[in-house]
Amino acid sequence: MLEVAEDTCTTCGSPQEVTDRKPKNYKYGIAVFSAGMIGIGLILEILSVDLMWIYAAFLASMLSAGQFVIPKGLRGLARLKLDQHFLMTSASFGAMIIGAPAEGAAVMFLFYISILLEEKAEDKVRDEIQALVELEPPSVTIKVDGTEFCTTPEDVKIGDILIVRPGGQIGLDGIIKTGATSVNQSSITGESLPIPKSVGDHVYAGTINQEGYIEVEVTEKSNESVLSKIINLVDASRKNRAPTEKAISRFSVIYTPIVVLLALLVAIISFVQGLSITDSTYRGLTLLVISCPCAFAVSIPVSMVSAIAGSARNGILVKGGIFIEQMSKTGVVAFDKTGTLTEGVLSVKDVCMHNNYSRDQVLSAAASLETMSEHPIGRALIEATIRENVEKVQASEFRSIPGRGVIGNLGETEYFVGNRRLLLDNQVPLDSVEAHDCGAGTMVYVANGSEHLGTIVLSDTLRPGTKRTVKKLKEMGIHTVMLTGDSENVAREIAEEIGIDDYRAELLPDQKVSAIEELKRNGIVLMVGDGINDTPALASADVGVALGAAASDAALEVADVALMEQDLTKIPELIQNSKKTMRVVRQNVATSLTVKAVTGILASIGILTLWMAIGVGDMGLTFLVIANALRLAGKW
């Protein structure tokens, strides 16, 4: 049962709360004041009070809301860089001049509300990042010469011992030196279930110790922890804009001057057609307000940043909108084999018996000798005997032959366990390779002094979810390829087992890069690897995805996307969510353009008022695209 630690550090204090909310409260207060003055102005109009007081009320509303708009509009005019602030400043003052003070005040007030909506959206994204920052506790308990005391994470040195009790937060990256527990590390890897941890296992800053008392040796400074790197990468990713986002920004630069000229043209045409100068100016101002590019300009950045922040919460680091856009167009997914499609851990696949020996005899002899070896093959053989309940015997006169295998005595008989060359070197009679079909894999030959007992076939263990991932990608119409340095036989067998479309075997790192370049001719290539040996290939692909990046600094650095846990099933999910993000972007852009076009036409022929223009064509539309974009924060 989870117990919350009662001996929480008190000498270090808790994080200081931000009590100064004046800037944000001030802005909300201005909105209330501006709305109130519009209300007063309308009441004065109904009561037919002197026009001077009516103008005073509406002017007070316009200037109060406009304090964040008018100066920017005037600075833009001075630099001949016209933007939405200039459009709204012109429309508001123009309405005042032509005798429509209520609408002039409403234009500025509603535009100010749209600014607050944009800030609110940005605040939500900042809150996502701040939530990551707050995962690191303000204080930690360290053990020095048997004494416990509190300090800040910044003051802890590599090699110090952290004490973490049940329910406590792990303050820094490190390795467990004492104790065993389960750790909720969803904040780092996105894994929903607690992970068992014991002596020798890595733990990460910001994760929760759920059950047992542990002591952790610190391996990274606070500013170099996996959590710190995640925060920095998420923050930096906001500056790495997608091509579509850059195109919209470039379009906005030339859009506003065109709109100003178009509004002047509408006013002139209306006047020529017989409208009064006041009505003609009103139509031009209405078009000016409708054409404000707020919703258009904010639609893509908010969508991208929402998606990036949402993905980080689920253990997926995307280093910028450019990679979301690239992933949405993925045509080929290339996988490294060892450590990606497979776990990189050997296991016994089959045992080929010879000379009438049994499976148990072959496994027992091999594991008995390998008990004294530290080789990964030895560990696989021992695990097989444990799993199959095969007894081992004590070996003597053990010798390891580098590049060949091991030799030792079981009782009075000498045994050999190793590759084919070891048996041939010791004149053990062997059948031809073709005589026994033991399948593909790593072959371990077992013999005594005169007879070949059998051949054990070892293979890499498929990672859970590998087959499901490949199947899902193929259902999505994506071509799948495996790139490996393994032999042709091993590669072919793995490819057939998991159902992958194509494979390239016996590749050196530079040949993997060449393979990626070749695949890129057929479309956008997403490469999945462990981020260490696959660095060149990850860098060469259109999008490099590192698997299990929480354990690898190299992965966090080189990959465009980093999956913090080793879960291949997130690859199809990643591509699907990227497609979903781009659908939202297209929806927002299309909606913005359509609404602007329709309301612009209605304004040009005098159907829309300034009130309706700002309420529907600007503030309402801005609210709509922001709400649509913020859905993405919860979809990743």
Question: CA 409 to CA 429: how far, in whole Å?
Answer: 19
CA nearest 248: which of 295, 318, 289?
295
Active site residue 336: yes
Question: CA 567 to CA 187: how far, in whole Å?
Answer: 15
Q: How many Cβ atoms from other residues are within 10 Å of residue 184's Cβ?
A: 18
Take residue 479 and report the two structure tokens written for it.
Answer: 């071509």
CA nearest 255: which of 585, 608, 592?
592
End-to-end CA distance of the chain: 31
Question: CA 575 to CA 69: how far, in whole Å?
Answer: 40
Take residue 160 and report the two structure tokens written for it.
Answer: 């110090």
Question: CA 233 to CA 555: how far, in whole Å?
Answer: 12
What Rg do the C-alpha atoms of the chain give, in angstroms? 34
Residue where the block lists tokens 């234009």: 107
* Residue 362 exposed, middle or buried by CB count within 10 Å (0-12, 13-18, 19+): buried
- Whether residue 171 contacts residue 205, with contact meaning beta carbons closer than 8 Å, is answered with yes
CA nearest 264: which of 51, 98, 91, 92?
91
Q: At what angle do helices 51-66 and 101-133 cross, to 10 degrees?
A: 20
Question: CA 165 to CA 304: how far, in whole Å?
Answer: 39
DSSP letter, residue 291: T
Q: What are phi and psi of 299, to 5 degrees?
A: -60, -45
Question: CA 137 to CA 152: how far, in whole Å?
Answer: 8
Question: CA 65 to CA 32: how far, in whole Å?
Answer: 10
Question: CA 191 to CA 194: how far, in whole Å?
Answer: 8
CA nearest 409: which of 389, 393, 428, 430?
393
- Whether residue 315 contacts residue 191, with contact meaning beta carbons closer than 8 Å, is answered with yes
- Whether residue 606 contacts residue 321, with contact meaning beta carbons closer than 8 Å, is answered with no
- Whether residue 505 contacts residue 486, with contact meaning beta carbons closer than 8 Å, is answered with yes
Count of helix runs (H) and strand runs (E) in the chain: 22, 22
| Helical segments of 240-276, H only | 243-272
Question: CA 431 to CA 429: how far, in whole Å?
Answer: 7
From the list 7, 20, 50, 336, the catalytic residue is 336
Amino acid sitting at position 193? L
DSSP string, 205-239: TT-EE-SS-EEEEE-S-GGGSHHHHHHHHHHHHTT
Q: How many Cβ atoms from other residues are within 10 Å of residue 578's Cβ?
A: 25
What amino acid positions are annotated as catalytic residues? 336
